[in-house]
């Protein structure tokens, strides 16, 4: 989840909004406005809508507090946090490192729900102190805002404690299983399976209540279940990727089929001699044996066709300074992280200024696919570096 609108940074963490957040914000403002209008008939329209808008903004602040709690605890325990993005279904903290021990995982995961519960009960207590009684609708704007924020935050805190991985509760559950089994991969698999069961119950319950006349709420529950199911499956698959590539170095899996192009060649000549004949999609540009950049079909396409004759490869390529590169002895998992974090599909592998090869997401996924096609689930695969010695990988 990448943010579309950057709001600023807190403690070195980028705070951003995904476009989908506006849909939920508008939905909150309208449903709240409608609610306030019906229960407080003496309020003016201006009062109704400013209260609704103000509540939505404060809701956003409390969501951010939830995510910040995860992130700040993660930072305090030595993990790097890149960004927090708020989107339609809440927020995500982009924590770059995986927790290395069960205790860290536990505290990072539970910090968010604790923050929501504290905020929620705090708001309700404040409303009560200001004269609101639980048996009645809040009468003033301030207590109305506090009560709504109180209920929604308590709800949010409790919902996130459901043990459906990758919800916070699922992570807490995973940390506990991890502490007991002392096996990180196994605990993720167990938590992901439990998460799938929980997600399935959400879908079932949502559909059941929809057909019993619950309408939108039923569908919404089923939709959340579907989202959780997807996320649980993805985390299960991620464990397989991590387990397969743990300890494997980039040099063991990189491909060498990146053709070398001279930087002074015209684009027309490049297209005629390389692109149309090799069918490859990626080309390394060299200058006297030094790797200076990459040129892809997309870069060529960005130059109008009638200028190909007069444009050199060097002018159209992406220079080395603008590329993310990796060294041959780096871990494959770090390469995957780098690609995912920057939304790129390939990394040039460079040592001493010379291109050694290319590592790409699609190539890595093909390797994984080949392994799982050849061997039944749960079998022990030979590590990649041993396969290389036998000459299986190029």
Nearest CB to Zn ion, comparing residues 92 and 271: 92
Nearest CB to Zn ion, comparing residues 168 and 252: 168
Nearest CB to Zn ion, comparing residues 112 and 348: 112
Least separation, in Å, of the C-beta of 109 and Zn ion? 7
Least separation, in Å, of the C-beta of 105 and Zn ion? 13
Between CA 244 and CA 377 the distance in angstroms is 12
Bridge pairing between strands 290-296 and 318-319: antiparallel
CA atoms within a 13 Å half-sphere pointing along the CA-CB vector of 303: 23
Nearest CB to Zn ion, comparing residues 191 and 339: 191
Nearest CB to Zn ion, comparing residues 21 and 132: 21
Between CA 243 and CA 233 the distance in angstroms is 16
**Site residues (CB under 5 A) for Zn ion?**
112, 168
Least separation, in Å, of the C-beta of 168 and Zn ion? 4
Between CA 15 and CA 5 the distance in angstroms is 9
3-state class (DSSP) for residue 324: coil
Residue spans of alpha helices (H) in the chain:
20-39, 45-76, 102-129, 141-160, 168-181, 184-209, 216-245, 250-253, 267-270, 276-278, 297-301, 313-316, 332-342, 361-374, 384-389
Least separation, in Å, of the C-beta of 163 and Zn ion? 13
Residue in the shown chain whose Cβ atom is closest to Zn ion: 112
Least separation, in Å, of the C-beta of 95 and Zn ion? 11
Between CA 339 and CA 324 the distance in angstroms is 9
**Could you tell me the two tokens for 218?**
């039923």
Q: Which residues contact 275 (CB under 8 A, 6 or more apart)?
A: 283, 297, 300
Least separation, in Å, of the C-beta of 90 and Zn ion? 7
Between CA 91 and CA 16 the distance in angstroms is 10
Nearest CB to Zn ion, comparing residues 112 and 357: 112
Residues 211 and 139 sit within 8 Å (Cβ to Cβ): no
Between CA 177 and CA 330 the distance in angstroms is 30
Count of residues in the chain: 394
**Could you tell me the two tokens for 283?**
């080309």
Nearest CB to Zn ion, comparing residues 105 and 168: 168
Nearest CB to Zn ion, comparing residues 112 and 206: 112
Least separation, in Å, of the C-beta of 169 and Zn ion? 9
Least separation, in Å, of the C-beta of 69 and Zn ion? 8
């Amino acid at each position: 989840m990448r943010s579309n609108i950057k709001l600023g940074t807190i403690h070195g963490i980028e705070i951003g909004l995904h476009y989908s957040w506006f849909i939920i914000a508008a939905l909150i403002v309208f449903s709240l406005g409608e609610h306030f209008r019906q229960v407080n008939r003496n309020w003016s329209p201006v009062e109704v809508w400013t209260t609704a808008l103000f509540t939505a903004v404060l809701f956003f602040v409390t969501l951010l507090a939830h995510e910040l709690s995860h992130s700040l605890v993660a930072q305090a325990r030595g993990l790097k946090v890149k960004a927090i993005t708020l989107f339609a279904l809440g927020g995500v903290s982009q924590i770059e490192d995986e927790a290395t021990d069960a205790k860290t995982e536990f505290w990072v995961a539970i910090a968010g729900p604790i923050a929501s519960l504290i905020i929620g009960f705090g708001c309700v207590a404040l409303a009560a102190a200001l004269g609101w009684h639980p048996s009645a609708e809040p009468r003033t704007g301030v207590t109305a805002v506090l009560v709504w924020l109180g209920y929604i935050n308590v709800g949010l805190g409790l919902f996130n404690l459901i043990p459906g991985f990758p919800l916070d509760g699922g992570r807490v559950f995973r940390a506990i299983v991890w502490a007991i089994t002392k096996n990180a991969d196994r605990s993720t698999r167990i938590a992901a399976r439990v998460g799938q069961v929980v997600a399935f119950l959400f879908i079932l319950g949502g559909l059941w209540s929809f057909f019993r006349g619950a309408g939108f709420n039923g569908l919404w529950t089923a939709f959340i279940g579907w989202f959780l199911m997807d996320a649980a499956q993805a985390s299960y698959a991620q464990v397989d990727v991590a387990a397969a590539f743990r300890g494997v170095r980039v040099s063991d899996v990189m491909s060498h089929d990146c053709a070398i192009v001279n930087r002074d060649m015209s684009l027309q000549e490049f297209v005629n001699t390389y692109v149309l004949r090799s069918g490859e999609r990626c080309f390394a540009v060299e200058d006297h044996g030094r790797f200076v950049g990459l040129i892809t079909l997309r870069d060529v396409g960005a130059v109008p066709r009638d200028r190909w004759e007069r444009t050199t490869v060097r002018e159209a390529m992406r220079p080395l300074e603008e590329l993310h590169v990796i060294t041959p002895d780096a871990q494959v998992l770090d390469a995957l992280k780098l690609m995912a974090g920057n939304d790129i599909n390939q990394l040039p592998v460079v040592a001493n200024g010379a291109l050694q090869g290319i590592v790409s997401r699609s190539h890595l996924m093909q390797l994984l696919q080949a392994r799982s096609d050849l061997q039944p689930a749960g079998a022990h695969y030979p590590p990649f570096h041993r396969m290389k010695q036998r000459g299986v990988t190029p």
